[in-house]
A = this chain, B = another copy of it.
């Protein structure tokens, strides 16, 4: 990350002993000392408007749109130019991102690798992705600069807003008796994937949220007697 000028690292649920050791090492780089540690991926990407999952598509058919790494830069450029914040999400070495992790991603990026050896070492995958973005003019600094110029076009919803919307829609599904309890997890997953695929703007998200809050309030007349929706 430091090689290519990227500075904001978030580490999700790290293995505590290794993480402590890495951070307290003599000469640990600033990047590591400044890294955020979060309990969930949801927390790590909460302020991001474009979440890019990484991995090989050899072993699965993705539920999200997929691009090859050399085609990622234009998407990132568009997002940064309109003032958004982009997250690149890397999975653990052993198995990569899970299907649940990927449900938080708007798009998947695949590093074009040899079919006989598609799985990359984590550090090398990070280096290759960030080299690709940096060599086309993106880095933490480029991002920061663009954010100041910023904010033309309609800004996409932040991940945290999408999660709140998903929560309200899910509550509504339950309140409406939309599906049996056994389907809850599957519905939650499909809903997450759908909300990212729609690429809702921040304004879309607020409007849709308002609608579902009202529906929810209507569905629960006794609980809400005398109060309007929030």
Using CB atoms and an 8 Å cutoff, list the residues of chain A in contact with chain B: 2-5, 29, 69-70, 111-114, 116-121, 123-128, 131-132, 134-135, 139
Contacts and interface: CB of A to CB of B under 8 A. Distances in A.
A119 to B, nearest CB: 8
What are the 5 A-B residue pairs with the smallest beta carbon separation, nearest first?
A: A124-B127, A2-B117, A5-B114, A3-B113, A128-B131
A26 B48 CA distance: 42
Contacts of A125: 127
A2 B29 CA distance: 30
A131 B111 contact: yes
Contacts of A112: 134-135
- With a 10 A CB-CB cut-off, give which of A2, A114, A123, A134 has the most chain B CB atoms: A114
A111 B5 CA distance: 13
Copy count, this protein chain: 2
A128 B3 CA distance: 12
A116 B140 CA distance: 14
B116 A2 contact: yes
Contacts of A135: 69-70, 112
A207 to B, nearest CB: 41
A145 B113 CA distance: 18
Contacts of A2: 114, 116-117
23 contacts: A2-B116, A3-B111, A3-B113, A3-B114, A3-B118, A3-B120, A3-B124, A4-B113, A4-B114, A5-B114, A69-B131, A69-B135, A112-B134, A114-B139, A120-B127, A121-B123, A121-B127, A123-B123, A124-B124, A127-B127, A127-B128, A128-B128, A128-B131
